[in-house]
Structures are given as C-alpha cells and as structure tokens.
Amino acid sequence: RLYSGRAKGRQFGTKCSSGDRIGCGIELVSFEVQTAQIFFTKNGKRVGSTIMPLSPDGLFPAVGMHSLGEEVRLHLHAELATEEDDSVMMVDSYEDEWGRLHDVRVCGTLLEYVGKGKSIVDVGLAQARRPLCTRSHYFEVEIVDPGEKCYIALGLA
C-alpha cells in the first residue's frame, strides 16, 4: 500500500513474503521546484513510483513493522539491479545508522519488531539518521520473517 502521509493507504504492488527484497529510492525531478520521484522495487524490479516534494531536511529511509515476529535484513547502501556479492565484508552493527527507533530491535543488519502488535497504532519504526542523497539514493530490506501478517512498510520520512 502507498500511504503518502495518510493513515489509510491505496493498493500499490503485490504482497511480499519471506525472501523478497523490497526497495525504495529517489530520483530528482525538478531542482527548481524541489520535487523528486520516489520509486519502489520488489526483487530488483520497479513496481511503481510517485512524485513528492523534497523536504529541506532531506528524505530519510524508514521501515515500519506491525505484527509479531516480523524481521527484515537491512541493505542501506544497496545498489539497484546488481547481484549480491557475498565477498563484501559485513559491518558489525548498524545501530549508529538509526536516528529513531521505536519498538524495533537492531542486531547487526537485522531489524526485528518487538512491539505488542495489538492495535493499528502499535507500530514499530526505524528511521535512518542520514537522508538519501545523490551518492546514496536507494535502500532495500530483505524479508527474513514475515511474522503473523507481514505488515512491513518501507519508505521515506
């Protein structure tokens, strides 16, 4: 679903499951008008986009989770349409990468929902410390465990 700053979203793409990689990125549309095209991917293929105004503070990667057991593996510096290279050295912890964490536990590159998941407002949120930029304009998460309902959201805040 595409929420675009609203509590209710509209249908956007197909449902994801364990092993799927979902991504979000930005492309500058107009520097003068300060707008960007926000695009989304599923397993490396674009599934749609929307135009949004750019915030003066930037657009920060954000991951939201809602149901018990949800877990995603983070790829903050992912590159679109490339094969994964297992020889890349893993970073010990990405905890310093996050400016805001609520009901989400960070363990290396894994983000896990640790909230109660009892109501629609009980949502976990992980928001990156740094905004996307021209050098780093795309990020992905891999769904490790879809949890009870796979209410995993990906986007920009």
Q: Flag whether pLDDT at 30 surpasses 50.
A: yes
Gap between the Cα atoms of 132 and 129, Å rounded: 10
Q: Categorize the per-residue pLDDT at 18 as very low, low, confident or very high, splitting at 50, 70 and 90.
A: very high
Mean pLDDT of 21-49: 86
Locate the domains of the chain by residue range: 57-156
Q: Give the range among 84-93, 118-127, 138-147 with minimum mean pLDDT.
A: 84-93
Question: Which of 60, 47, 61 shows the shortest CA–CA distance to 16?
Answer: 47
pTM of structure:
0.74
Q: Rounded to the nearest 5°, which phi and psi values hold at 63?
A: -130, 130
Q: Flag whether pLDDT at 43 surpasses 80.
A: yes
Placement of tokens 């990156």 in the chain: 128
Looking at per-residue pLDDT, the higher value among 149 and 61 belongs to 61
